[in-house]
Chain A
Amino acid sequence: MKLTVKLFAYFRDNRFVAEVKQYPEQATVADIIGDLGIDEKEVGVTMLNSRHCRLDAHPQEGDILAIFPVIGGG
């Protein structure tokens, strides 16, 4: 399946801002994070199509997956 993957903050370093990527049909969000070489412990927020999702969620063809490190502000 094809997904748009968006990365934020330091996850962009030596990777990318947003790319369309191909993944196996059964891939979970955690699988994709692992494939990108991101340490799961550093992940703070994941969203599929602007809704929060769990790491065991299964994205669908055409979804937009956003991956953020642990962040805060205000």
Chain B
Amino acid sequence: MSDKIFRVNMTELTVSVEEVPQNWAGLGGRGLTSTIVAAEVPPTCHPLGPNNKLVFAPGLLSGTVAANSGRLSAGAKSPLTGTIKEANAGGTSAQLLARCGCKALIIEGQAKADSWYSLAVTPAGVAISEEKELIGKGNYEVVQTLSKRFESKRGVITIGPAGEMKMEAANISVMDPDGNLRSNGRGGLGAVMGSKRVKFISVDPQGGKVTIADPEAFKQANRAFAKALVDNPVSQTLGTYGTNVLVNVINEAGGLPTRNFTSGQFEGHDKISGETMHDLIEERGGVVKHNCHAGCVIQCSQIYNDANKQYKTSGFEYESIWALGADCCVEDLDDIAEADRLMDDLGIDSIETSVAMGVAMEAGVLPFGDGPGVCRILREEVAKGTALGRIIGNGAGSVGRAFGVTRVPVVKNQAIPAYDPRTVKGMAITYATTPMGADHTAGYAVATNILNVGGSVDPLSKDGQVELSRNLQIATAAIDSTGMCLFIAFAALDDPNCLPRLIDLINARFGINLTGDDVTNLGKTILKTERAFNQAAGFNNADDRLPEFFYNEPLPPHNLVVDFTGEEIDSFWNF
């Protein structure tokens, strides 16, 4: 089956299937979403208006048996940041879209505000239907209802009430193999989907398969690639403790932002740690190792049960646990799990919303440490779209502006995640410069600053950090374009066998001859394309700065500030 571009116009309620333009042929994932957004979306458009476009793209290897190839990229102009945005997620839909022959799904225009719609993707194209039953419903009810409504097992991509209300922190949820939820989390792409009046998208390949140009070479490369992933010790601890294994090491290093970014260490760290979570999951009959998409060999996800051994949440990630835990000073992992579940159901980013809660705590809206209070606000304010709920649902920057708080940890209005840039200095450069707004995944300097993966660079000194962040951001843009899970990077950074086998896989899939240099150049091109969009939208290097308090409030225990000059930050772009 040859790949096509599937296009939906929500103003006209029309669909089309188009040939792939030659210059998009070698792109997937973020490379493709960013290229399409840059080519087709006017940079100055309103993100929630008819001229923005929401683009979904599976990776170059999605739909094949290649290990960890099932990430789904979503892209648009972000209502949260005003920049170009790509957010990716696991779940089953990337694999199924690829098997429909869908290289990208572009949703453009805007339906009239009196109706809601669903989209059904099959190898024949897209069908638009009016939707009534599921409007206003949470994501869990959406996936449960649809699994009964459809006879065949389909992929589901959905927005919750937050997306329907066009909150700037709204995410897009993707059903995983067990009927639970993964999220294209950051940047408010759920609000863009809501602005198009699309409640959900189902994906049914109807037996369609991805064509492999050289099946034997593909099989051999995949065996070696999967082995490199499985053998990597980072993969092994990720499977056992999840991403939450990081709480204790980042706390020990003094870089765990605590009490709205006023300390780098949290007294209750061990109560919310990956080690504690692992033991609780075992005690309560949960699942320690769980894959968010078929073909994942790392299995960093898990199923977390409550004290009554009933399912509470899955994909319970370090970032969410840090934000509600240390940043909001909530020490009870069950309160955090309840909030995580509520946010998944509402369809709202658990990083942005939780950091927003920390700013709200500083403003006195609720006390630090009030886990039940966080859950109450999610249920009674955010879910109902009250004035306070919308202020919080529009993110940390929104809360800061509404309540006059000056300590607001955002870059380009997106909340800074779980590594303080004063003590993990490589992350200062990544947060400041990535075209995405503060995003840890864009250039994960934590690996080299804290974890000694891919070498070691002193986290407390600014020496070498610009170069480190640059190299990581280029490599990440390339990996995001393959549609691979970013956690392959831990193996790729230290195992010389890993990345060449990935390139072999891409070559065997398409019958081409990519080299390592081609992949690096792809990463550079994507970053420059994204930056050019932002500049045309009105951003300049003054936007590539951290909030003022990072420069003048020393962070205990190391009592350091961010000390990069503007020129040093801007030198990131010298490539």
Residue in B237, B253, B459, B558 whose beta carbon sits within 8 Å of that of A9 in the complex:
B237
Report chain A residues within 8 Å CB of B459: 52
Within 8 A of A (CB), among B215-253: 233-234, 237-238, 240-246, 248-249, 252-253
Chain A's nearest CB lies how many Å from the CB of B246? 4
Is B237 within 8 A of A69, CB to CB?
A: yes
Contact with B along A44-72 (1 / 0, CB 8 A): 11010011100000000000001011111
CA distance in complex: A45, B449 (Å): 11
Residue in B249, B446, B557 whose beta carbon sits within 8 Å of that of A8 in the complex:
B249
CA distance in complex: A71, B300 (Å): 12
Instruction: Tell me how many residue pairs across A and B have CB atoms closer than 8 Å.
Output: 88
CA distance in complex: A69, B452 (Å): 11
Is B246 within 8 A of A74, CB to CB?
A: yes
Is B444 within 8 A of A74, CB to CB?
A: yes
Is A73 within 8 A of B460, CB to CB?
A: no
Residue in A6, A9, A17, A50 whose beta carbon sits within 8 Å of that of B241 in the complex:
A9
B456 at the interface (CB under 8 A from A): yes
Residue in A12, A47, A70 whose beta carbon sits within 8 Å of that of B237 in the complex:
A70
CA distance in complex: A44, B318 (Å): 19
Instruction: Count chain A CB atoms within 10 A of each CB in B252, B275, B446, B487 and give the residue with the most.
Output: B252
Chain B's nearest CB lies how many Å from the CB of A36? 17
Q: A44-B451, A52-B458 are in contact. Are A72 and B253 (CB under 8 A)?
A: no
Chain A interface extent, by class: 20 to 34
Chain B's nearest CB lies how many Å from the CB of A45? 6
Residue in A45, A69, A73 whose beta carbon sits within 8 Å of that of B242 in the complex:
A73
Is A72 within 8 A of B453, CB to CB?
A: yes
B441 at the interface (CB under 8 A from A): yes
Is A6 within 8 A of B451, CB to CB?
A: no
Report chain A residues within 8 Å CB of B319: 74
Report chain A residues within 8 Å CB of B486: 74
Helix, strand, loop or mixed for chain A's interface? mixed
Residue in B241, B274, B451, B558 whose beta carbon sits within 8 Å of that of A45 in the complex:
B451
Chain B's nearest CB lies how many Å from the CB of A54? 10
Report chain A residues within 8 Å CB of B252: 6, 8, 47, 50, 66, 68
Residue of A nearest to B250 (CB): A73
Residue of B nearest to A50 (CB): B254
A42 at the interface (CB under 8 A from B): yes
- Measuring CB to CB, which residues of chain B are less than 8 angstroms from any residue of chain A? 233-234, 237-238, 240-246, 248-249, 252-254, 265, 270, 274-275, 300, 318-319, 440-441, 444, 446-447, 450-453, 456, 458-460, 486-487, 490, 557-558
25 A/B residue pairs, CB under 8 Å, sorted by A: A8-B252, A9-B241, A9-B275, A12-B275, A44-B233, A44-B451, A44-B452, A44-B453, A50-B558, A66-B252, A68-B252, A69-B237, A70-B234, A70-B452, A71-B237, A71-B241, A71-B245, A71-B246, A71-B249, A73-B242, A73-B244, A73-B300, A74-B318, A74-B440, A74-B446
- Measuring CB to CB, which residues of chain A are less than 8 angstroms from any residue of chain B? 6, 8-10, 12, 17, 42, 44-45, 47, 50-52, 66, 68-74
Further 8 A-B residue pairs, CB within 8 A, beyond A70-B234, A72-B453, A73-B318: A8-B275, A42-B233, A44-B233, A44-B451, A45-B249, A68-B248, A71-B249, A73-B274
